[in-house]
Structure 1
Amino acid sequence: MDDTIAAISTAQGVGAISIIRVSGTDAIKIVNKIFSNKKFLNAPSHTIHYGYIMDGDERIDEVLVTIMRAPKTFTKEDIVEINAHGGIMTTDKILELLLVNGCRLAEPGEFTKRAFLNGRIDLTEAEGVMDLINSKTDISRKIALNQVGGKVSSMISDLRDELAGIIANIEVNIDYPEYEDIEEMTIEKINSNLSELESKIDKILKESKNGEILTNGIKTAIVGKPNVGKSSLLNRLIGEDKAIVTDIQGTTRDSIEATLRIDNLILNLIDTAGIRKTEDVVESIGVDKSLKLIDEADLILFVVNYNEKLSHDDLVILDKLKDKNYITIVNKTDLDKKIDDDKLSNVVYVSALNDDNIDEIGNKIKKLFNLEKIETTDLTYLTSARSGAILRKVLDSVKAVRKGIEENYPIDMVEIDLKDIWNLLGEIIGESYDEELLDQLFSRFCVGK
Structure 2
Amino acid sequence: MNTQDTICAIATAQGGAIGVIRISGKDAIAITDRIFTPVGKHPLPLSERKAYTMAFGHIRQDDGEIIDEVLIGLFKSPHSYTGEDCVEISCHGSSFILQQVMQLLIRKGCRAAGPGEFTQRAFLNGKMDLSQAEAVADLIASSSAATHRMAMNQMRGGFSRELSALRERLLHLTSLMELELDFSDHEELEFADRSELETIAGDIEKVISGLVHSFSVGNVLKNGIPVAIVGETNAGKSTLLNTLLNEEKAIVSDIHGTTRDVIEDTVNLSGITFRFIDTAGIRDTHDTIENMGIARSFHKMEQAEIVLWVVDNTCAEAQIRQLSPRILPLCSNKQLIILLNKSDQVSAVPTKLSGLPENTVTLSISAKEKTGIQELQNLLVKTASVPELTSSDLIVTNVRHYEALSLALEDIHRVQNGLQTHLSGDFISQDLRECLFHLAEIVGGEITADEVLGNIFMKFCIGK
Alignment CA distance shift 1:355-1:171 (3 Å) = same
Task: Tell me which residue corresponds to 1:328.
Answer: 337
5+ residue gaps, structure 2: 39-43
Residues 187-223 of structure 1 deviation map (CA, whole Å, 9 limit, x = unaligned): 3332232222212212122223222211221232211
Matched, 1:337 2:350: yes
Aligned equivalent of 1:234, options 241, 263, 286: 241
Residues 364-409 of structure 1 deviation map (CA, whole Å, 9 limit, x = unaligned): 44444433x4245843222111111111111122222322333432
Distance of 1:183 and 1:358 partners within structure 2: 69
Which letter maps to 1:273?
Answer: A
Aligned equivalent of 1:136, options 143, 148, 152: 143
Matched, 1:441 2:456: yes
More divergent stretch after superposition (145-154 vs 277-286): 277-286
Distance of 2:36 and 2:266 partners within structure 1: 46
Residues 294-350 of structure 1 deviation map (CA, whole Å, 9 limit, x = unaligned): 234444323345531432323212112334x33222313554416523423331312
Alignment CA distance shift 1:9-1:247 (3 Å) = closer
More divergent stretch after superposition (439-448 vs 168-177): 168-177
Residues 147-187 of structure 1 deviation map (CA, whole Å, 9 limit, x = unaligned): 11111111111211121111122223333579999973223
Distance of 2:188 and 2:99 partners within structure 1: 68
Aligned equivalent of 2:12, options 10, 13, 17: 10
- Asked if 1 retains the 8 angstrom alpha-carbon contact of 2:8 and 2:112, the reply is yes
- Asked if 2 retains the 8 angstrom alpha-carbon contact of 1:308 and 1:338, the reply is no
- Asked if 1 retains the 8 angstrom alpha-carbon contact of 2:179 and 2:191, the reply is no
Matched, 1:424 2:438: yes
TM-fit CA distance, 1:249: 3.5
- Asked if 1 retains the 8 angstrom alpha-carbon contact of 2:408 and 2:434, the reply is no
Distance of 1:173 and 1:264 partners within structure 2: 54
Distance of 1:318 and 1:104 partners within structure 2: 59
Task: Tell me which residue corresponds to 2:199.
Answer: 192
- Asked if 2 retains the 8 angstrom alpha-carbon contact of 1:210 and 1:374, the reply is no
Distance of 1:297 and 1:155 partners within structure 2: 31
Task: Tell me which residue corresponds to 1:311.
Answer: 321
Which letter maps to 2:278?
Answer: D
Distance of 1:182 and 1:431 partners within structure 2: 34
Matched, 1:400 2:414: yes
Equivalent runs, 1:42-441 vs 2, <5 Å: 42-56=48-62, 57-176=64-183, 184-305=191-312, 307-309=316-318, 310-323=320-333, 325-332=334-341, 334=346, 335-337=348-350, 340-344=353-357, 345-353=359-367, 355-371=370-386, 373-375=387-389, 378-433=392-447, 434-441=449-456
Distance of 1:203 and 1:89 partners within structure 2: 51
TM-fit CA distance, 1:417: 1.1
- SS of the residue corresponding to residue 69 of structure 2 reads strand
More divergent stretch after superposition (150-159 vs 282-291): 282-291
Alignment CA distance shift 1:395-1:243 (3 Å) = same
Return the TM-score normalized by structure 1.
0.92
Alignment CA distance shift 1:156-1:447 (3 Å) = same
Distance of 1:329 and 1:287 partners within structure 2: 19
TM-fit CA distance, 1:270: 1.5
TM-fit CA distance, 1:442: 0.6
- SS of the residue corresponding to residue 311 of structure 1 reads helix
Which letter maps to 1:61?
Answer: D
- Asked if 1 retains the 8 angstrom alpha-carbon contact of 2:230 and 2:297, the reply is yes
Task: Tell me which residue corresponds to 2:41.
Answer: none
Alignment CA distance shift 1:395-1:304 (3 Å) = farther
- Asked if 1 retains the 8 angstrom alpha-carbon contact of 2:116 and 2:462, the reply is yes
More divergent stretch after superposition (195-204 vs 94-103): 195-204
Equivalent runs, 1:16-55 vs 2, <5 Å: 16-37=17-38, 38-55=44-61
TM-fit CA distance, 1:235: 2.9
Alignment CA distance shift 1:181-1:326 (3 Å) = farther
5+ residue gaps, structure 1: none
- Asked if 2 retains the 8 angstrom alpha-carbon contact of 1:222 and 1:271, the reply is yes
Distance of 2:143 and 2:188 partners within structure 1: 55
Alignment CA distance shift 1:397-1:359 (3 Å) = farther
